[in-house]
Amino acid sequence: MHCIYAIIDPRSDRIFYVGQTSDFDARRRQHIEGTDQLSGFLVRQMAVNGFVPLFVVLEQRRSKAEALAAEIFWIELMLSRGASLLNVQGVGGYVAGAEKRAQLADGLENMLLERAAGISQGSNELEAVANGRSLRAGAPWTPQELRRLSGMRKANMPLDAMADALDRPPYEIRRALKEKRRSQPRRPKN
């Protein structure tokens, strides 16, 4: 069974993270030890002040795909009700904005339609979205994307804004910019 859970800050009684796992006890221990995620920094702050986060199981699902879809649902529900989540989706990242939320809703609807039709669900895509990763991550760059990237660089757009606009992780933006600089002919110095 896969478990969808929320973590609560006992100092404010507010949910600050929603996750899913197939081993709740192990994942709970990881959180309490303080991961390198944003939530881990908050957990470490709590520990310094003598607090331990509270965990609540929101629901359980049989498959990973169902759990990922449920995790996305709970994150979106919490965000729509004003929760300040430290999940990537809650702080912006690559899944920021109403446009991406609409894409997620469409993806979930398609998954439900596929399930009703007996078609296999795309759990890799769901996992990427649930973890706040871009679906374009690792995909080959198109000429149009490279032109857009050049324009963004010329406009001195911040790296994170480029990543969001191109729906790619920041490390891919840096790599593409570096490769573009290498491929340009060097101008002689006067």
Q: Which DSSP state fits 34?
A: -
Q: What is the pLDDT of residues 149-172, one digit of tens each?
A: 888 888 888 888 888 778 888 888
What's the CATH code, domain 2-107?
Answer: 3.40.1440.10
Residue 42, helix vs strand vs coil:
helix
- 30 exposure class (CB count in 10 Å sphere: 0-12, 13-18, 19+): middle
Q: Tens-digit pLDDT profile for the chain (190 aa)?
A: 999 999 999 988 899 899 999 999 999 999 988 776 777 777 877 777 778 999 999 999 999 999 999 999 999 888 888 888 887 665 455 444 344 334 434 544 454 455 455 544 455 566 666 666 666 777 888 888 888 888 888 888 888 888 877 888 888 889 899 888 887 776 666 6
The helix (run of H) or strand (run of E) holding residue 92 is none
Is this structure's pTM higher than 0.75?
A: no
Residue 130's pLDDT is 64
Q: Which residue has the tokens 């331990």?
A: 52
C-alpha–C-alpha distance, residues 186 and 87, integer Å: 43
